[in-house]
Amino acid sequence: MTETSVFAVNPEVAENAWVDEAGYFRLYEQSIADPEAFWGEHGKRIHWMKPFTKVKDVSYAPDDLHIRWFQDGTTNVAYNCLDRHLATKRDDTAIIFEGDDPKDSKHISYGEAYEEVCRLANVLKAQGVRKGDRVTIYMPMVPEAAFAMLACARIGAIHSVVFGGFSPDSLANRIVDCDSNFVITADEGVRGGRKIPLKANTDKALEKCPGVDKVLVLRRTGGQIGWVEGRDLWYHEELAKVSDDCPPEEMNAEDPLFILYTSGSTGKPKGVLHTTGGYLVYASMTHQYVFDYHDGDVYWCTADVGWVTGHSYIVYGPLANGATTLVFEGVPNYPDASRFWQVVDKHKVSIFYTAPTAIRALMREGEGPVRRTSRKSLRLLGSVGEPINPEAWLWYHKVVGDERCPIVDTWWQTETGGILITPLPGATPLKPGSATRPFFGIKPVMVDADGKHLEGACEGNLCIGDSWPGQMRTVYGDHERFVQTYFSTYPNKYFTGDGARRDADGYYWITGRVDDVINVSGHRMGTAEVESALVAHAKVAEAAVVGYPHDIKGQGIYAYVTLVAGEEPSDALRKELVQWVRSEIGPIASPDLIQWAPGLPKTRSGKIMRRILRKIAENDYSNLGDTSTLADPAVVDDLIQHRQNKR
Ligand code: ATP
Ligand code: MG
């Protein structure tokens, strides 16, 4: 694709930001030259009960793999997120709750959040939950979901949050995998005006989980639910029985904080384990610098707490920084497609962080729903979850941000705990579609298929050469899978599974999953590039491309295309799109087959599952792999029915 334009740093933004461009390079070089000194200093940003004396103890060698940060320090995450702020911020807003119903919102102060978390922690203790026990949280997007996480952290229990959109089966698998015996849920959730039967799903899941002996139920809607005497407890009743005095448990830096299952885009979800000290240091530091958070900002991340983005950038990062974080129960298009921007105006949101899938969905509705809101309070926009195609980036910048707000395209993973590659608003000239440069302490290494290091401008597999405090420590209950998945392909490096291009300015462009790379007549191509070209066509809303066996080229390009609302598929349009991609990228990238797709198979977090599309393109439906994280399984049947054959 043709090199895109560069958006220079706004000098005013740079002046008020934590770091400007010179500051970035200075700090980055320090962080790489002497990680011990750098993290020894920045590790102090959180409160330690017993200060650490050792900073880093890491080996990536497969036969001696260990990752330890601040290992002799002790702390408590809930203390850092709440107690620590009481002296100066007791009455400041910790959480703004915006309900699914636009009439339903409230502010929760640090003092109020602290009291509720202490009570909830006492309830857990009274019910026999102990340090190290696994507590499953299956909740709607309400403040109590964050309270539940923090209550676990307060007493040293390990939480496993399961996205409230998951089925009973998916919930059961995750409960069993981490051998959890306590579940926190709600009677029902509400999203887009529809009720979600969380308690009924839990009841169903628990038929397969004999180990669970208590279920704490938040009353959200008051809807009819089943009840198992002796097992089920009402949240409000139990909280009323206990005191709000609950001293935080003294935790070692390397004690587990939570388990979280990955989205499952590439296969069976992995139970990613994060620990206490390093995770919090990294989540809070990235939250401050990447979003350039200052006191007085109103910060909104639209993710669900069921994903790592919700963990690090709705709950732990912001609260550790004493920020005001918005928790949104609803969806982008309810009551209408203006909702995000109405919420921005209502609460004067200054920092807004969302996913490309949401941006593309809103783009389909045109500019009207955005333009009729003010959005004057916004000063920074963020993106996460997938490569953001330049077309969507430009729309986000122009229409949503009125060309005023820098966009931070943040690349990271459940495994990384926090953002690894990203612009900093005061420091980084932006290129639409590029996650730009590494955060402090992050050493990206590009390798070819044989593991040979690539220098300068190149394209290859993205690895990280050294550890950072927020890195995952193991796959829960399956350390061998941890070693195999991340540290065996390329020795002494963490392998991300993503492909990337590095340009002459040292900017990173994520090209997609390495498993998804297409090889056409010997030319390797990332999926992101071809998809971006398709989406850049005015009639295309979304696209996913995969390779399929091709007699002459080795692999051909199979494109699934969703058209903008109101556009009709036709053979003429098919030809037009092939021509379009030829001129955007080159003949080598022109799709061999285009299938019209009313919908694409996506994970519950909105990522396209190309491995399923690849199976369909290959005409092999027998083994679609783990589809439990699919948002809408019906989409797959439709795609199979309308599969394109070689012409
Ligand atoms: P699984 O590992 O089970 O297949 P997953 O990789 O989808 O699931 P996540 O940890 O939620 O689970 O997603 C991380 C992945 O999302 C990254 O590896 C990358 O492919 C993609 N990603 C996230 N943010 C960005 C971004 N800003 N640009 C490009 N890709 C991104
Ligand atoms: Mg992954």
Tell me the two tokens of residue 317. Answer: 């990062």
Ligand 1 atom with the smallest distance to the CA of 383 is: 27
Residue that the structure tokens 């587990």 belong to: 256
- The model's pLDDT over 375-416, given as tens digits with 9 standing for 90+, comes to 999 999 999 999 999 999 999 999 999 999 999 999 999 999
Per CATH, the number for 11-501 is 3.40.50.12780
Cα–Cα distance measured from residue 62 to residue 493, given in angstroms and rounded to the nearest whole number: 10
Q: Residues near 107 by Cβ (< 8 Å), separated by ≥ 6? A: 93, 95, 96, 97
Q: Are 271 and 155 in contact (CB under 8 A)?
A: no
Ligand 1 atom with the smallest distance to the CA of 409 is: 27
Distances from the Cα of 123 to the Cαs of 110, 126, 160, 202, in angstroms? Answer: 20, 5, 18, 20
Question: Cα-flanking dihedrals φ and ψ of residue 307, to 5°?
Answer: -115, 165
Tell me the two tokens of residue 81. Answer: 């997120």
- The model's pLDDT over 194-228, given as tens digits with 9 standing for 90+, comes to 999 999 999 999 999 999 999 999 999 999 999 99
- Among 262, 305, 603, 612, the mutation site with the greatest number of ligand 1 atoms within 8 A of its Cβ is 262
- Among 263, 419, 486, 515, the mutation site with the greatest number of ligand 1 atoms within 8 A of its Cβ is 263
- The model's pLDDT over 328-377, given as tens digits with 9 standing for 90+, comes to 999 999 999 999 999 999 999 999 999 999 999 999 899 999 999 999 99
Binding site residue list: 191-194, 309, 333, 385-387, 409-414, 498, 513, 521, 524, 535, 537, 540, 582
Confidence of residue 3 (pLDDT cuts 50, 70, 90): low
**273 C-alpha to center of ligand 2: Å?**
14
Q: Residue 472: nearest ligand to its CA?
A: 1
pLDDT at 268 over 90: no
- The model's pLDDT over 93-145, given as tens digits with 9 standing for 90+, comes to 999 999 999 999 999 999 999 999 999 999 999 999 999 999 999 999 999 99
Cα–Cα distance measured from residue 406 to residue 5, given in angstroms and rounded to the nearest whole number: 14
**336 C-alpha to center of ligand 2: Å?**
32
pLDDT (0 to 100) of residue 623: 80
Average pLDDT over residues 7-32: 97
Which residues form ligand 1's pocket by a CB distance below 6 Å? 262-267, 269-270, 384-387, 409-414, 435, 496-498, 510, 513, 605, 607
Average pLDDT, the chain: 96
Binding site residue list for CoA: 191-194, 309, 333, 521, 582
- Among 273, 509, 510, 513, the mutation site with the greatest number of ligand 1 atoms within 8 A of its Cβ is 510
ipTM of this predicted structure? 0.99
Tell me which residue has its CA closest to atom 3 in ligand 1. 264
Q: Are 455 and 430 in contact (CB under 8 A)?
A: no
**353 C-alpha to center of ligand 1: Å?**
16
pLDDT (0 to 100) of residue 1: 43
**232 C-alpha to center of ligand 1: Å?**
36
- The model's pLDDT over 511-556, given as tens digits with 9 standing for 90+, comes to 999 999 999 998 988 999 999 999 999 999 999 999 999 999 999 9
- Among 396, 411, 507, 610, the mutation site with the greatest number of ligand 1 atoms within 8 A of its Cβ is 411
Tell me which residue has its CA closest to atom 24 in ligand 1. 385
Distances from the Cα of 290 to the Cαs of 80, 285, 423, 490, in angstroms? Answer: 20, 8, 7, 29
Secondary structure (H, E, C), 214-262? EEEEECCCCCCCCCCCCCEEEHHHHHHHCCCCCCCCCEECCCEEEEEEC
Ligand 1 atom with the smallest distance to the CA of 607 is: 7
Q: Residue 261: nearest ligand to its CA?
A: 1
Nearest Cα residue to 535 out of 513, 557, 563:
563
pLDDT (0 to 100) of residue 244: 97
Tell me which residue has its CA closest to atom 23 in ligand 1. 385
**607 C-alpha to center of ligand 1: Å?**
8
Domain boundaries, the chain: 11-501, 521-642
**266 C-alpha to center of ligand 2: Å?**
7
Q: Residue 385: nearest ligand to its CA?
A: 1
The pTM score is 0.96
- The model's pLDDT over 549-585, given as tens digits with 9 standing for 90+, comes to 999 999 999 999 999 989 999 999 999 999 999 999 9
**265 C-alpha to center of ligand 2: Å?**
7
Q: Give the other-Cβ count within 10 Å of 509's Cβ.
A: 23
Level-2 CATH architecture, domain 521-642: 2-Layer Sandwich (3.30)
Tell me which residue has its CA closest to atom 18 in ligand 1. 413
Q: Give the other-Cβ count within 10 Å of 428's Cβ.
A: 22
Residue that the structure tokens 């021509």 belong to: 579
- The model's pLDDT over 624-643, given as tens digits with 9 standing for 90+, comes to 888 888 988 889 999 999 98
If you count DSSP H runs as helices and E runs as strands, how many of each does the chain have, helices first? 22, 30
